[in-house]
Amino acid sequence: MKKRSVTSRDVAALAGVSQSAVSRCFSPRASISDGTREKVLAAAKTLGYRPNSIARSLITRSSRTIAVVMSQLDNPFYAQMLDRASRLFQVKGYHLLLFMVSADGESKGVMGEILQSQVDGILMLSASLSSSFAQECVERSIPVVLINRTVDSDSVSQVASDNYHGGYWVGSFLAAAGHERCAFISGLPSASTNVHRRRGFLDALAAYGLTCWAEERGDYQADMARQATHRLCGGDSRPDAIFAANDHMAIAVIETLRTDFSLRVPQDVSVVGFDDIPLAALPSYRLTTVRQPLEEMVVQAAEQLLWQIAEGRIVAVNQTLPIVPILRESARCPTDVHI
Amino acid sequence: MKKRSVTSRDVAALAGVSQSAVSRCFSPRASISDGTREKVLAAAKTLGYRPNSIARSLITRSSRTIAVVMSQLDNPFYAQMLDRASRLFQVKGYHLLLFMVSADGESKGVMGEILQSQVDGILMLSASLSSSFAQECVERSIPVVLINRTVDSDSVSQVASDNYHGGYWVGSFLAAAGHERCAFISGLPSASTNVHRRRGFLDALAAYGLTCWAEERGDYQADMARQATHRLCGGDSRPDAIFAANDHMAIAVIETLRTDFSLRVPQDVSVVGFDDIPLAALPSYRLTTVRQPLEEMVVQAAEQLLWQIAEGRIVAVNQTLPIVPILRESARCPTDVHI
DNA sequence: CTGTTAGCGCTTTCAG
DNA sequence: CTGAAAGCGCTAACAG
């Protein structure tokens, strides 16, 4: 057991004031005279007193804590998002409680724990939320914001980049450059990001009178993308362009193409990704990709969460942020590029 | 304000039992009859009751929460560690509270917040801890485990890989292969990992009658490593081997060598890293490096933390885990390799 | 096995 | 401005 810690009572006794005076001393906007404050602060210092935020949370009904749910910390894109979110909330006086779930589907158990942990808000970084859970959050008036994932509920906020048009851009870019056998390596089939990127890609291809030459499943994972590349190029004919649903996979595709098939990128096969992770810019890859406004997405999500918390009510907002095509050298370009 | 939530009282009233019966129902090993349990559970379900863990923490003096302090989420090595740690603690029924600090030195403010947040333990992932803080943690009997960082205090536990011998291996490997101008790109000067890797490297070189040809500061950051490479190779002569204090920098070094100086690795310059991040194994790099037992380090750190928490007392232990040299093709090999 | 009774450490009216 | 008093929701003796 932990040894009894120093309480506001102890400080009060030493300072010769009431316990509530001590409390006021550590409350932002409470009226207290300078004299008392000094006595209290002095006593607090000698005793090494720190207000117990658990007790504070219990009474204020606010833990100043945000739950972050995510699944893929190995994808630098989400690692970076977490980094940003953490620093951002820290500045606002909130702490992050981290929950990792398996890639697909939410862990039912985990969501239960989140609810019990009395967080003030929930941030889902590309993790799925069941509508029954969304419902329960609303009932407890805990705001939820999904980043890059949608849910069948009109009560949670969503922030996403324009995945459809990102996919559309890739499709038209590839088609305009004269590619005729465009393949798609998908992300998680259940992920809205994947669905939208794919839809956009297919629609663009169709607009050029093309169909997707082949489609393989990659689940947003590097090693699955590697296998998908093998299926794509192992036969008699092979694609002349591959759109991987994210950069993480696209890098794996490029490596596989070069190493296992001695194919050059983009001379033999064009490769396009999605996200624009730092790695994509390295000379070894020079990956043509679609940049998601990472920073902006986090900022918007945080703002929505914070605003709802301050307001004390749930106001669901759907935001779609514009993407930015990034032209590098991993894909052959149309003669004159129309972005 | 949050709407009043369902409490154990409400459940008790509906189930027609006492409030403490409800409490027992949700406590692991409390004696309660099946009949009562069913009634309570039924009532709880219809009301959507979830025990408030804040209130529970207040009385049990245990938040079942671990603070994780780290600075570099962009380094995949630490992202991976966080991932592992998170899942590991989750299984044990603990939650992680994430605190990001600036790369060097601890944020004084952050450590204060950690103390107030009443965590049961603190895990420092390559983040520094001042001895005064270590002291304060001991006084509150909050166990602390540092991973890959040491602190001048005999009351906190430390888990690290054998950085000295890792560096030593690199030095002797490079020297044995006949390299004569070995350069070192350092990590953070204040980091114990950097100090030990460097010391080992220098000692090995000395054993071969060599000295470090040049030393540049990289602070464990990719872009600083790029600049360091420029300083190293921009002059009249250049090193024939570069030891970067971690893989993250080594990758940047290779890219820079190839792109900005048209140098081949390892024919013109050998490059060795440290960590063995997933990227290091990619065909584009095939980085010779020193693997740290990531999984094992996290497991050991978690065990120590959990054990101390269970025991209720601080027992500082220093663990040094063996490293594993990974031979790939980014560095020229000695004719016959003695590992 | 169950209900009653004290609090955990703090914030927050409410008088003075 | 300050102290006294009443809980926040729950656990943990303690009787019955």
Whether A61 contacts chain B with CB within 8 A? yes
Residue nearest to nucleotide C8 (CA to C1'): B59
**A61-161+294-322: CATH superfamily:** Response regulator (3.40.50.2300)
Q: Check pLDDT > 70 for residue B338.
A: no
Cβ distance A155 to A165 under 8 Å?
no
In this complex, the residue of B116, B259, B282 whose CB is nearest that of residue A53 is B116
Residue type, A298: V
Cβ distance A70 to A100 under 8 Å?
yes
Nucleotide nearest to B59 (CA to C1'): C8
B272-323 pLDDT per residue, tens: 999 999 999 999 999 999 999 999 999 999 999 999 999 988 999 999 999 9
Q: How far is the CA of A25 from the C1' of C16 (A)?
A: 20
- Contacts of residue B337, Cβ cutoff 8 Å, sequence gap at least 6: B173, B176, B327
Q: For position B252, what pLDDT does the model report? A: 97
Here the tokens at position B333 are 């090999």
Q: Check pLDDT > 70 for residue B11.
A: yes
Is B283 in Cβ contact with A74 (below 8 Å)? no
> Tokens 């907002």 label which residue?
A317
B86-89: list long-range contacts, CB under 8 Å, 24+ apart.
B86/A73, B86/A98, B86/A99, B86/A100, B87/A100, B88/B298, B88/B299, B88/B302, B89/B302
- Where is average pLDDT lowest: B3-7, B134-138, B149-153, B234-238? B3-7
Cα A181 from chain centroid (whole Å) = 32
The answer regarding whether domain B163-292 maps to CATH 3.40.50.150 reads no
What would the mean pLDDT of B129-139 be, rounded to a whole number? Answer: 87
Cβ distance A239 to A266 under 8 Å?
no
DSSP-assigned letter for residue B322: P
Burial class (CB in 10 A: 0-12, 13-18, 19+), B251: buried
Q: For position B334, what pLDDT does the model report? A: 86
Alpha-carbon gap, residue A76 to A96, rounded angstroms = 19
Q: Check pLDDT > 60 for residue A103.
A: yes
The answer regarding whether domain A8-59 maps to CATH 1.10.260.40 reads yes
What would the mean pLDDT of B182-203 be, rounded to a whole number? Answer: 96
Q: For position A336, what pLDDT does the model report? A: 57
pLDDT class for A85, splitting at 50, 70, 90?
very high
Percent of chain A with pLDDT over 70: 96
Whether B54 contacts chain A with CB within 8 A? yes
What would the mean pLDDT of B160-184 be, rounded to a whole number? Answer: 97
Angle between helix axes B222-233 and B247-261 (nearest 10 degrees) is 50
Here the tokens at position A45 are 């210092």
Candidates A81, A117, A122, A309, partner chain B, best to mutate (most B CBs within 10 A): A117
Whether B2 contacts chain A with CB within 8 A? yes
Q: For position B95, what pLDDT does the model report? A: 96
CA distance B74 to chain A (A): 6
- Enclosing H/E stretch for B319: strand B318-321
Say if pTM beats, i.e. exceeds, 0.85: yes
CA distance B23 to chain A (A): 14
Q: Is the CB of B207 under 7 A from strand D?
A: no
Q: For position A105, what pLDDT does the model report? A: 64
Q: Is the CB of B19 under 7 A from strand C?
A: yes
Here the tokens at position A65 are 């804590």
What would the mean pLDDT of A96-118 be, rounded to a whole number? Answer: 86
Q: Residues of A with CB below 8 A from B136's CB? A: 48
Q: For position A154, what pLDDT does the model report? A: 85
Q: Is the CB of B60 under 7 A from strand D?
A: yes
A32-61 in b/e burial notation, b at 16+ Cβ within 10 A? Answer: beeebeebbbebbeebebbbbbbbbbbeee
Residue B336, CA atoms < 13 Å, CB-side half-sphere: 0
CA distance A245 to chain B (A): 19
A206-261 pLDDT per residue, tens: 999 999 999 999 999 999 999 999 999 998 899 999 999 999 999 999 999 999 99
- Where is average pLDDT lowest: A70-74, A332-336, B190-194? A332-336
Q: Check pLDDT > 80 for residue B103.
A: no
- Contacts of residue A136, Cβ cutoff 8 Å, sequence gap at least 6: A115, B48
| Distances in whole angstroms, Cα of residue B53 to Cα of each of A64, A118, A179, B224 | 14, 7, 58, 45
Q: Residues of A with CB below 8 A from B110's CB? A: 90
pLDDT class for A106, splitting at 50, 70, 90?
low
Whether A49 contacts chain B with CB within 8 A? no
Alpha-carbon gap, residue B286 to B273, rounded angstroms = 11
What would the mean pLDDT of B204-217 be, rounded to a whole number? Answer: 96
CA distance B139 to chain A (A): 9
Q: Residues of B with CB below 8 A from A69's CB? A: none
Is B116 in Cβ contact with A1 (below 8 Å)? no
Q: How far is the CA of B26 from the C1' of D16 (A)?
A: 23
Q: Check pLDDT > 50 for residue A1.
A: no
Q: Is the CB of B327 under 7 A from strand C?
A: no
Here the tokens at position A280 are 């994509």
Please indicate whether the domains covering A61-161+294-322 and A163-292 agree at the CATH topology level. Answer: yes
Angle between helix axes B8-15 and B34-47 (nearest 10 degrees) is 120
Q: Check pLDDT > 90 for residue A72.
A: no
| Distances in whole angstroms, Cα of residue A135 to Cα of each of A31, A129, A131, A185, B49 | 41, 10, 6, 34, 14
- Where is average pLDDT lowest: A206-210, A294-298, B105-109, B193-197? B105-109
Q: Is the CB of B58 under 7 A from strand C?
A: yes
**Per-domain residue ranges of chain A:** 8-59, 61-161+294-322, 163-292
For the four alpha carbons of B280, B285, B286 and B287, in that order, the dihedral sign comes to negative
Whether B237 contacts chain A with CB within 8 A? no
Is B80 in Cβ contact with A95 (below 8 Å)? no
Q: For position B28, what pLDDT does the model report? A: 78
Q: Check pLDDT > 70 for residue B106.
A: no
Alpha-carbon gap, residue A212 to A276, rounded angstroms = 23
Is B86 in Cβ contact with A80 (below 8 Å)? no
Average pLDDT over chain B, rounded to an integer: 92
What would the mean pLDDT of A154-164 be, rounded to a whole number? Answer: 94
What would the mean pLDDT of B5-30 be, rounded to a whole number? Answer: 89
Chain A window 196-235: which residues touch B at a Cβ cutoff of 8 Å?
Answer: 222
Alpha-carbon gap, residue A242 to A171, rounded angstroms = 10
Burial class (CB in 10 A: 0-12, 13-18, 19+), A279: buried
Q: Check pLDDT > 80 for residue A3.
A: no
Residue B100, helix vs strand vs coil: strand
Q: For position B155, what pLDDT does the model report? A: 86
Task: Pick the residue from chain B with its C-alpha nearest to A120.
Answer: B2
Percent of chain B with pLDDT over 90: 76
pLDDT class for A151, splitting at 50, 70, 90?
confident
Is B312 in Cβ contact with A53 (below 8 Å)? no
Nearest CA to A182 among A203, A219, A210, A145? Answer: A210
Alpha-carbon gap, residue A52 to B116, rounded angstroms = 6
The torsion angles phi and psi of A180, rounded to 5 degrees, stand at: -120, -20
> Tokens 């630098």 label which residue?
A76
Percent of chain B with pLDDT over 70: 96
A7-16 pLDDT per residue, tens: 999 999 998 9
Here the tokens at position B46 are 């219809």
Nucleotide nearest to B53 (CA to C1'): D10
Is A90 in Cβ contact with B100 (below 8 Å)? yes
DSSP-assigned letter for residue B93: T
What would the mean pLDDT of B84-106 be, rounded to a whole number? Answer: 90
The torsion angles phi and psi of A206, rounded to 5 degrees, stand at: -60, -40
Q: Check pLDDT > 90 for residue A186.
A: yes
- Where is average pLDDT lowest: A46-50, A151-155, B8-12? A151-155
Cα A71 from chain centroid (whole Å) = 9
In this complex, the residue of B5, B74, B97 whose CB is nearest that of residue A80 is B74
Q: For position A51, what pLDDT does the model report? A: 94
Q: Is the CB of B32 under 7 A from strand C?
A: yes
The torsion angles phi and psi of A319, rounded to 5 degrees, stand at: -120, 135
Q: How far is the CA of A288 from the C1' of C12 (A)?
A: 59
CA distance A208 to chain B (A): 35
Q: For position B3, what pLDDT does the model report? A: 60
Residue type, B231: R
Q: How far is the CA of A49 from the C1' of D5 (A)?
A: 24
Q: How far is the CA of A70 from the C1' of C8 (A)?
A: 33
Q: For position B132, what pLDDT does the model report? A: 85
Q: For position B1, what pLDDT does the model report? A: 42
Task: Pick the residue from chain B with its C-alpha nearest to A121.
Answer: B2
Q: Residues of B with CB below 8 A from A222's CB? A: 278
